[in-house]
Amino acid sequence: MTLALVALAATARDYSHPVGYYRLQSNHSISTTLLGLEYSYEGRVADRWTLIGRAGVVPIGFNLYSFPSESGFNANLGIGASFEGRYYSSIKRRMEMGRSTYNNSSDFISLRLRTNTTGDGPEISLTPAYGFRRAIGKHWVQEFTLGMRFGIFGDDAFFAPHAQYRIGFVF
């Protein structure tokens, strides 16, 4: 009898929150972009805010080239780490509309601080971006972000557009 009550309590739904309640989920994931592979942890820090830490092999530059005699693709990878603060702007609206918010499926605004190694030294950049994240089944997520990247590489500063598609396995 005691075991049955404990099992019932463990699986019972929590009705203490008001209708329309949502909660961001903390999670671990492994993700990839066009190039590279990163481990990340996303932790909930406030109502609609999370902080994401990532580390792994990241793309630091690639180009497509075409000359009359030759064409090709050149890519450079390095070791990188980033910290990103995210504000999930539409998670409450998605929940109220009956759409899934599983694995933090929502639009977001973010600010990412990233550093990575190159053969010529470290690079540090700051990227404000807008993006969206959607769950694909139980363990997969996809994200797309657009923004502008400001950075320092050696003695030079740079400004570049940022567009990224990421797919990840959440565990």
CA distance 158 to 52: 24
Which DSSP category does 18 fall into? Answer: P
- The band of 21, judged by pLDDT with boundaries at 50, 70 and 90, is low
Looking at CATH, the fold of the domain delimited by 25-170 is given as Porin (2.40.160)
**Average pLDDT value for residue range 89-96:** 93
**Average pLDDT value for residue range 149-164:** 92
**Average pLDDT value for residue range 33-62:** 92
Cβ neighbours of residue 37 closer than 8 Å, sequence gap 6 or more: 30, 31, 56, 57
Q: What is the pLDDT of residue 40?
A: 97
pLDDT above 90 for 28? yes
CA distance 84 to 88: 12
Q: What is the pLDDT of residue 10?
A: 42
Least confident span in 103-112, 125-134, 155-164: 155-164
Calculate what percentage of the chain has a pLDDT beyond 90.
Answer: 64
CA distance 18 to 98: 15
Q: What is the pLDDT of residue 59?
A: 85
- When the pLDDT of each residue in the chain is averaged and rounded to a whole number, the result is 86
pLDDT above 50 for 19? no
pLDDT above 50 for 101? yes
**Average pLDDT value for residue range 144-164:** 93
